[in-house]
Amino acid sequence: MLFGVKLANEMYKPWATWYIDYERLKRLLKEDDNNTSRSTPKDRRNTVLWTEKDESNFVAALDAELEKVYEFESHKYADLKDKLAATEARIPSDIDDSASAQVDFDSFEKELDRTLAEAQELEKFTRLNYTGFFKIVKKHDRLYSKYSVRPLLQVRLAALPFNSENYSPILYKLSSLYVYVRDHKAGLPQELQPSGTLSQAPTASATTTFKYFKFWVHPDNLMEVKTFILRHLPLLIYNPQSNKILNLSTPDPTITTLYFDNPDFQLYLEKLESRETASSVRLRWYGKLNSHPEIFIERKFIDSDDKDVVQEQRIPIKEKYVKSFIDGTYSMEKTIRKMRERNAPAAEVEKFEKVVADIQSYIRANNLQPVLRAVYSRTAFQIPNDDRVRISIDNDIDLIREDGLDSTRPIRDPEDWHRHDIDDMGFEHPFKTIRTGEISRFPYAVLDIKVAMRTGDKKIRPSWVKDLMSSHLVKEAPKFSKFAHGVSMLFDDEEYINVLPYWLSELEKDIRRDPEQAYAEELNRKKFGDQPLDLSLKALSSSPVMGATGNDAVASLLAAVGEQTGKHGRHESISISLRSFVDEADREHQQIIRGDIDEDEEDESSSSSDEDEVEVEAVGISSRPHRRHGKSRLRASKSWFKRHRKASDKAFKLPPGVERPKRLLTQSGQVMVEPKVWLANERTFNKWLQVTVLLSALTFGLYNAAGKYNKTAHRLAYTYFILTIFCGCWGYGVYMHRVKAIQMRSGKHLDSPVGPVVVSLGLLAAIILNYYLES
């Protein structure tokens, strides 16, 4: 979408006159008169029409627009603060039940909603105008490279920093006012009441479990997501104030985390493969290290008794003891001695000693060292003393290498535990001084939602959380990990890792969705339900389509999958493997539609199974194919899915108005193939044409030079002519076959060794025939 169209669609109409006049600035650039585009070479662009006067007029208009936007933004920001102060003044100085009864909470809450909506629109106003200025300056510098305006724009933005306003203080103030409404307004929904009034508030018990959800949030939607959550949950302030008025200079806290791993990236692989031994070790602190904050060393691991429970061990440690703790020369003896001097309970001291010993032994046993730094700002939402819903948003995520794996050029001094070039200088986001290749900036914010759910209850409560999860504002990213993403982006080398997370391909797409489309999808989901396809062994065994043969097939499939996953083959891995076979059946079904395979024909590819390779794609893993065992059982399972697909299709009843597609979704839409794939196919075709031309030259040269009565030369010329025709036809046929396979997104092999073998044997036969006839 062109930015001019985007600006016209997204601008707040009451403030339309205060936005950047993008169309006027475009007219001043005389872009239509120049008739240039991005693809036009610089030496062919017409710059005759652009004079010094035109340049002065454009710069003056640009500066006037910048001053206009800055003046309006500063005025509205100050107006927001005044409105909040006026709203806060309506709160009685002596807050009790009688004073609160005199407050009109309905108008009070409506005023808060209007202020919150205005803050959201002002943030969007700032973002759109900031983008517009850089867009128009980039267009100017591209059209008229003789004049560069970008440095001037940066200088003026430093003098008129309309884009540098921090909206977190306003959100803090609004949060405190919403808390006042929730604590004193009568008739609130149960889910919005403070936890002290809920005797039935869930606690960590045998009947309550916690479910975690992860989402990505595009920067364009970040403010809207925060304001949506703020209407239901208060901001969790890390440095709470004792007085009623919040400190408006308080920014969102910056968190720094150092993740540990060994040179083999054992923890990274265990996390991606969801092994039972998966664990993580990290150092974490708030703020800058040169301000000497409290440092925590943490270890997370899966409970050996309950695989669904993640245990966490955490101890505070001073900066000067971190290196010796990692090396194993210091085991928190001073802290333990002070605990005993304070007469701390013996059980507490013993528990602390055990945690220290567990963390230290795990680091030493696995040869762990800091390899990755994650720096991000966190905004958290939670009702105090109520853990039913806890939401955190991490944005401005910077992932930086912190390793010393390369002994010749270490990123971090191997004799130290952190990078002094970052911590001593107090560098902050966006870390412009870090070298390329040592830093990866995650483009989105990460939304974490923790919801308490009663056992057996599948509904997510409160309802507004479910509305947020299904809205167009967020993109679901299950099992996303900053640590795994940072390692995959910064250590993507055969020397270090060869397994990548599944979500890397999603980064190439635009995660923003149209609100109307998202709303229609949500209505459709509510109408027809959102029950996922159950591919568990229990469901398949009880399926009326399967019968006795189905049980045998599932048993074979279970055995085959067990051979691949070893002792770690769990129910989740089995379901994933079953889905991979369903995908294979889909590909065969599409071949039946195209007429390539007869429905009653046996799978001929099974006869050449010695060369088959099966790729099982687990959750969070995308690895290279590996040779598998038990192929006969795999082929039997695939054949069963193929034979019973038609019956299962008939048994499934489609919703009203929905027709069965004739083309699979994986083979629909625009074919997104890298140019190198097409070029590789064309290069192969050109090689065959080259061989064809050489053989044709040899054929006609030999035939014309042989004379009328040289029968031997004529026979050889005929042989070479046949090979020439074969090479041309074979090369063209292979080329068209591969083009069709690429367009259909086929997963079959594209190798074709028959042609080269035939040509080689033909040439060998011609040489033997030549020697035989001459002798």
What is the reported pLDDT for 555? 45
Given pLDDT bands bounded at 50, 70 and 90, which one contains residue 209? low
- Of 26-40, 256-270, 637-651, the poorest mean pLDDT is in 637-651
Q: Would you call 622 helix, strand, or coil by DSSP?
A: strand
Main-chain dihedrals φ then ψ at residue 238, nearest 5 degrees: -75, -30
Above 90 in pLDDT, residue 260? yes
Query: Tokens representing 368?
Result: 């762990």
Question: Which residues are CB-contacts of 725 (< 8 A; sequence separation ≥ 6)?
Answer: none
Convert the pLDDT of each residue in 72-88 to its tens digit. Answer: 999 988 888 888 888 88
> Cβ neighbours of residue 667 under 8 Å, at least 6 residues apart?
590, 744, 745
Contact between residue 712 and residue 773 where contact means Cβ atoms under 8 Å apart: yes
Mean pLDDT of 675-698: 86
Instruction: Give the tokens for residue 445.
Output: 């914010």
| Residue 757: other Cβ atoms inside 10 A | 9
* Both structure tokens of 453: 């759910």
pLDDT at 4 over 60: yes
Evaluate if residue 612 carries a pLDDT over 80. no
What is the pLDDT, as a whole number, of residue 398? Answer: 93
Question: Does residue 442 have a pLDDT over 60?
Answer: yes
Tokens encoding 197? 């009034």
The tokens 């007869």 sit on which residue? 598
pLDDT at 580: 46
Q: Which residue has the higher pLDDT, 650 or 677?
A: 677
Least confident window among 39-53, 160-174, 267-281, 342-356: 39-53
Instruction: Please say if the pLDDT value at position 467 is more than 50.
Output: yes
Contact present, 398 and 443 (Cβ < 8 Å): no
pLDDT confidence band for 376 (50 / 70 / 90): very high
C-alpha to C-alpha distance for 619 and 274, rounded to whole angstroms: 8
How far apart, in whole angstroms, are the C-alpha atoms of residue 67 and residue 519?
39
Percentage of the chain lying above the pLDDT 70 cut: 69
Among 350-364, 449-463, 533-547, 550-564, name the most confident range: 350-364
The residues that bridge with 452 in the sheet, in sequence order, are 210
Minimum mean pLDDT range among 28-42, 122-136, 334-348, 378-392: 28-42
Apex CA 465: angle with CA 463 and CA 469, to 5°? 120
Residue 532 has pLDDT above 50, yes or no: no
The answer to whether the bond into 169 is cis (omega within 30° of 0) is: no
CA distance 251 to 379: 10
Q: Is the pLDDT of residue 534 over 50?
A: no
User: 217 with 445: CB under 8 angstroms?
Assistant: yes
Residue 251 pLDDT class (50, 70, 90 cuts): low
Tell me what pLDDT residue 217 has.
Answer: 92
> What is the reported pLDDT for 242?
40
Who wins on pLDDT, 578 or 422?
422
Q: Which residues on adjacent β-strands are paired with residue 656?
A: none
Per residue in 158-208, pLDDT tens? 888 888 777 777 887 888 788 777 777 654 454 444 443 322 333 333 345
Highest mean pLDDT among 175-184, 272-281, 331-340, 494-503: 331-340
Write out pLDDT tens, residues 47-61.
447 788 888 888 999
- 397 contacts 427 by C-beta, under 8 angstroms: no
Which range has the worst mean pLDDT, 140-149, 201-210, 674-683?
201-210
| Residue ranges of E strands in 477-593 | none
In this structure, what token pair is assigned to residue 143? 């059209």
Does this model's pTM top 0.85? My answer is: no
Q: How many CB atoms lie within 10 A of CB 605?
A: 15
Task: Tell me which DSSP letter residue 500 carries.
Answer: B
Which has the higher per-residue pLDDT, 518 or 111?
111
Residues 6+ apart with CB under 8 A from 199: none
- 406: amino acid identity, one letter: D
Residue 471: pLDDT above 50? yes
State mean pLDDT over 523-552: 46
**736-767 pLDDT per residue, tens:** 888 888 877 676 777 778 888 888 888 888 88
77 or 714, higher pLDDT: 77
Residue 476: strand pairing partners: 215
Task: Specify the pLDDT at position 156.
Answer: 85
pLDDT in tens, 584-600: 545 544 454 444 444 33
User: Cβ distance 157 to 62 under 8 Å?
Assistant: no
Mean pLDDT of 34-54: 59
**Pairing outcome for strands 235-236 and 369-382:** antiparallel
DSSP annotation string for 207-239: TEEEEEEEEEE-GGGHHHHHHHHHTTS-EE-SS
At 394, the pLDDT band (50, 70, 90 cuts) reads: very high
Per the prediction, the chain carries an average pLDDT of 74
300 within 8 A of 280, measured Cβ to Cβ? yes
Tell me the CA end-to-end span of the chain in Å, nearest whole number.
76
Q: Output Rg (C-alpha) for the chain, integer angstroms.
A: 34
Helix (H) or strand (E) holding 74: helix 52-89
Separation of alpha carbons 204 and 16, rounded Å? 51
Nearest-5° Cα angle at 405, 400 to 409: 85
Give the closest residue to 556 by CA, choosing from 506, 657, 630, 619.
Answer: 630
Predicted local confidence at residue 250, as pLDDT: 60
pLDDT given at position 344: 87
